[in-house]
Amino acid sequence: MMPGYDLLALGFNQLFTDPAAIGLFLLGLVAGSFFGAIPGINMLTLGAVLLPFSVQMDAGHAIMLYSVIYCSGVFGGAITAILFNIPGAPENAATAIDGYPMTLRGQSKRAVGAAILCSALGGIVSTFVMIGAAEGISRWAIKAIQPAEVFGIIAVGLAISASVGAKSFWKGWLSVLFGMLLACVGTDPIDSVPRYTFGSYYLYAGIQTVPMVLGVFAMSEILAQATGRGLMSSTNGQGPGLGLQEIWSHRLTVCRATVIGFLSGLVPGVGATLASFVSYGTEKTMAGPDAGFGKGNIRGVIAAETANNAATGAAMIPVLALGLPGGALTAMMIAVYQLHGLEPGPLIFVTSPEIIGLVFAAMLLANIGILALGWVESHTVTHLRRIDIRYLMVFLLILSTIGAYAERNLMIDVWVMFGAGVLAFKLRELGYSLAGLVLGLILGKIGEAAFMKAALLADYSIPVMLSRPITALCLITALVITLAGAYRAIRSRSFESQRF
Tell me which residues touch other proteins (CB under 8 A): 41-42, 44-45, 47-52, 55-56, 139, 142-143, 146-147, 186-187, 189-192, 194, 201-206, 208, 267-269, 318, 322-326, 328-332, 334-335, 338, 341, 343-347, 402, 405-410, 412, 449, 452-453, 456-457, 459
The smaller minimum CB distance to other proteins, of residues 122 and 325, is found at: 325
- Smallest distance, other proteins to C-beta of residue 64, A: 19
3-state secondary structure of 292: coil
What sign does the CA torsion over 154, 159, 162, 165 have?
negative
Q: Considering the complex, what minimum distance in angstroms separates the CB of residue 166 from other proteins?
A: 30
Residue closer to other proteins (CB basis): 459 or 496: 459
What is the DSSP secondary-structure string of 267-289?
A: STTTHHHHHHHHHHHHHHHHH-G
The full length of the chain comes to 500
Q: With respect to other proteins, which residue has the nearer C-beta, 22 or 190? A: 190
CA distance 152 to 154: 5
User: Hey, what amino acid is at 372?
Assistant: A
Closer by beta carbon to other proteins, 273 or else 382: 273
> Radius of gyration over alpha carbons of the chain, in Å?
22
Distance of closest approach, residue 418 Cβ to other proteins, in angstroms: 18
Distance in Å, CB of 290 to other proteins, minimum: 41
Q: Considering the complex, what minimum distance in angstroms separates the CB of residue 201 from other proteins?
A: 5
Q: Look at residues 485, 126, 465 and name the one whose alpha carbon lies nearest to residue 275.
A: 126
Three-class DSSP category at 187? strand
Please give the Cα distance from 78 to 95 (Å, whole number).
6
The residue (of 302 and 336) whose beta carbon lies closer to other proteins is 336
Write down the least CB distance from residue 384 to other proteins, Å: 22
DSSP-H helix ranges across 17-107: 19-37, 43-56, 59-84, 93-104
The CB-of-147 to other proteins minimum distance in angstroms stands at 7
Cβ–Cβ under 8 Å, residues 21 and 369 = no
**DSSP element (H, E) containing 195:** strand 194-195
Nearer to other proteins, 53 or 487 (CB): 53
In three-state secondary structure terms, 345 is coil
**Least spacing, CB of residue 54 vs other proteins, in Å:** 10
Cα maximum dimension of the chain: 76
Residue 337 near residue 343 (C-beta atoms within 8 A)? yes
Please say which residue, 101 or 325, places its beta carbon nearer to other proteins: 325
- Smallest distance from the beta carbon of 171 to other proteins, in angstroms? 31
Exposed, middle or buried, 371 (CB in 10 Å: 0-12/13-18/19+)? middle
Task: Give me the helices (H) in 323-352, please.
Answer: 328-339, 348-351
Distance, CA of 474 to CA of 306 (rounded, Å): 22
Other CB atoms within a 10 A radius of the CB of residue 286 amount to 13
- Our CB check for other proteins shows the closer of 400 and 433 to be 400
Q: Which is nearer to other proteins, 408 or 488 (CB)?
A: 408
Closer residue to other proteins in complex, CB, 211/485: 211
What are the start-end ranges of the E strands in 412-459? none
CA angle 298, 174, 98 (to 5 degrees): 10
Minimal distance, residue 88 CB to other proteins, in Å: 12
